[in-house]
Amino acid sequence: MLIAQITDLHLTPGETSSCQNIDRLRRVLKHIKDSPHVIDAILITGDLSEGGHPASYKALKTELTLLGIPYYLAMGNHDNAANLAACFPYVKLADGFLNYSINFPDLRFIILDTTLSGRHGGAFCENRADWLDKELGKESSKPTLIAMHHPPADIGIEWMTTREDSPWAKRFKTIIQQHKNVVHIMCGHIHRSIFLSYAGTTLSVAGAVAPQVSLDFSAIDPNKVDGRALVEDSPPSYTLHHWKSGQLTTHHVDIGAAPLIYYDAAHADVIKRTLDRD
Ligand SMILES: [Fe+2]
Ligand SMILES: [Fe+2]
Rounded-to-integer distance, Cα 217 and Cα 168, Å = 23
pLDDT of res. 257: 87
Ligand nearest 75 Cα, by number? Answer: 2
* CATH for 226: 3.60.21.10
Compute the distance from residue 139 Cα to the ligand 1 centre, in Å. 32
Compute the distance from residue 7 Cα to the ligand 2 centre, in Å. 9
φ/ψ (deg, to 5) at 249: -115, 135
Number of domains present in the structure of the chain: 1
Cα 47 to Cα 7, 66, 100, 136: the distances in Å are 7, 21, 18, 25
Compute the distance from residue 70 Cα to the ligand 2 centre, in Å. 23
Region of residue 9 (phi > 0: left; psi between -120 and 50: alpha; otherwise: beta): alpha
Rounded-to-integer distance, Cα 210 and Cα 22, Å = 9
Compute the distance from residue 177 Cα to the ligand 1 centre, in Å. 27
Q: How far is CA 8 from the centre of its chain?
A: 8
For residue 94, the cross-strand partners are 97
Residue 110: name the closest of 125, 126, 132, 130 by CA. Answer: 132
Beta-carbon contacts of 6 under 8 Å, excluding residues fewer than 6 positions away, are 25, 28, 42, 43, 44, 45, 206, 209, 238, 239
> Nearest 5 degrees, angle CA 146-CA 116-CA 62?
65
pLDDT of res. 168: 97
pLDDT of res. 16: 55
Q: Which residues have beta carbons under 5 A from ligand 2 (an ion)? A: 47, 76-77, 189
Beta-carbon contacts of 123 under 8 Å, excluding residues fewer than 6 positions away, are 114, 115, 116, 150, 168
What is the helix (H) or strand (E) element at residue 274, kind and residue range? helix 268-274
Compute the distance from residue 123 Cα to the ligand 1 centre, in Å. 15
Compute the distance from residue 190 Cα to the ligand 2 centre, in Å. 7
- C-beta separation of 214 from 228 below 8 A: yes
> The domain containing residue 166 runs over which residues?
2-274
Compute the distance from residue 189 Cα to the ligand 1 centre, in Å. 4
88 C-beta neighbours (distance < 10 Å), count: 17
Compute the distance from residue 274 Cα to the ligand 2 centre, in Å. 41
pLDDT of res. 250: 98
- C-beta separation of 220 from 240 below 8 A: no
Sign of CA dihedral 33, 19, 233, 214: negative
Ligand nearest 78 Cα, by number? Answer: 2
Over its length of 278 residues, how does the chain's per-residue pLDDT go in tens digits?
A: 999 999 999 999 775 554 489 999 999 999 999 999 999 999 999 999 999 999 999 999 999 999 999 999 999 999 999 999 999 988 888 888 999 999 999 999 999 999 999 999 999 999 999 999 999 999 899 999 999 999 999 999 999 999 989 999 999 999 999 999 999 999 999 999 999 999 999 999 999 999 999 999 999 999 999 999 999 999 999 999 999 999 999 999 999 988 999 999 999 999 999 987 76
Compute the distance from residue 150 Cα to the ligand 1 centre, in Å. 9
3-class DSSP assignment, residue 134: helix
Pairing of strands 182-187, 144-147: parallel
pLDDT of res. 277: 76
Rounded-to-integer distance, Cα 9 and Cα 19, Å = 13
Residue 129: name the closest of 112, 148, 117, 141 by CA. Answer: 112
pLDDT of res. 130: 96
Cα atoms in the 13 Å half-sphere on the side-chain side of 8:
23
pLDDT of res. 89: 86
